[in-house]
Structure 1
């Protein structure tokens, strides 16, 4: 039902103001990027290096989140145990924490002079300012998004299906493998897409814990930040690329929701 009459403008005007605030900067970004040598900047060595590193680290981060987050989401959704509310709180913290706090926390914990730095050094492991640090920072901020989506998927499955599987003699692993995973597959895929998008756009935790070393820790968001000082064209080109990827992933999620 469409609003009508003079009172409709009470809804239309503020809604249009917010839509304009969201849309106009994006249009300005795309327009300015296309006015310059867009393809030339996209194919610049620094831009390609940042793109390759971002795709590599974000993919590894999603793989880590799926491998560790799926069992955790299943436990939170189907099991009852002491400390569960606190575990829920812990998973929500990285989502609401400022990225700078997340990066500083990782640095204090795993830095060379951090709480666990000496133990890692004894094992010959040095995390700060490495590609592994990028993966760790991205996983820290993005994995909770996957866990939350996976948990919703597992929680939506009818308990009677679980009881029927046990009656038929299924083990806990068989229940998980042949019942829970197939029925929650769409939620898991949606969570993985959200996780990948968040990891791809991570900036604050990465720059504090991993630094901004070209070809080693400089992801696309960091290259955009550096481009504001060195090469605005590269920054604009990478921004448009991230915007296009985000739009594509959101379109996939919307399509999944419609189905």
Structure 2
């Protein structure tokens, strides 16, 4: 029974890599997601629906297609990747950084949506009142909007983290399935399923994936609920 639940070094590497990739992708998404959420909540323009459609495209686009697009753009012979490789010697595809970028792209719309909804719930009159008292647009944003939108920001971060933990399609196309470098938990689970006799390994990884995802989602709901409760009591 002990051996049944004992993780191998390869499995530990996949788990550790998944947590690292998910954390960095969620963290790097955060500033742009906050700005984009605020922009969508506070700005109105004729082509806004096109901008929203572009932002949310990764939600409906097959993840494999997203990975292929990234490969066309940032691969060694891609539109941007070739320039980076020739001018600076930077190779992104099939690396740790590729795994982070792929996770960022698929998690970004969820993060933006959470932050946008949170900012939309804030009465713009608070921001206007701050400006009448001498605060400029940025001061109003950092002192009024950002603190009030904190529950949505935290929720957006955790949602991006959880989505990154489960990312598979874009990662396997753009970053590959390299053990110890780009093989995250979903990729390790996929590899175990493909090998006869690895059912025990696949089951262990499945249980861990379910636990991580549940903790992230439940933690997000609990944290946001507590923050809202404190705000109403204040």
Aligned residues: 223
User: Once the two structures are superposed, what CA deviation does each residue of 1:92-137 show, in whole Å capped at 9, x if it has no partner?
Assistant: 1001111111111111111112222321112211111100000010
**Gaps spanning 5+ residues in structure 2: where?**
230-234
Which of 235, 239, 244 aligns to 2:206? It is 239
> Computing the radius of gyration over CA atoms, which structure comes out larger, 1 or 2?
1
* Paired residues of 1:145 and 1:194 also in contact (CA < 8 A): yes
Is this contact kept in 1: 2:155–2:221, CA < 8 A? no
Equivalence for 1:253: 220
For 2:55, the equivalent position in structure 1 comes to: 91
Shift of the alpha carbon at 1:249? 2.0
Listed as ranges, the matches of 1:115-134 within 5 Å are 115-122=79-86, 123-134=88-99
Aligned to 1:106: 70
SS at match of 1:228: helix
Per the TM alignment, residue 82 of structure 1 is displaced from its structure 2 partner at its CA by 5.2
- Could you tell me which of 104, 121, 138 is aligned with 1:173? 138
Q: Residues 141-182 of structure 1: CA distance to partner in whole angstroms, max 9, x if unpaired? A: 001110111011111101211111111111111111111111
Q: Is the 8 A contact 1:202 1:221 kept in 2?
A: yes
> Is the contact between residue 36 and residue 233 of structure 1 (CA under 8 Å) also seen in structure 2?
no
RMSD across aligned C-alpha pairs, in angstroms? Answer: 1.6
Structure 1 position 36, deviation (Å)? 7.8
1:194-241: CA deviation from partner (whole Å, max 9, x where unpaired): 111100100000001110000000000000000113432222111111
Determine the C-alpha separation between the residues in 2 that align with 1:246 and 1:53.
15
- Which ranges in structure 1 are unaligned for 5 or more consecutive residues? 1-34
36, 39, 53: which one aligns with 1:72: 36
Provide runs of 4+ in structure 1 moved above 4 Å: none
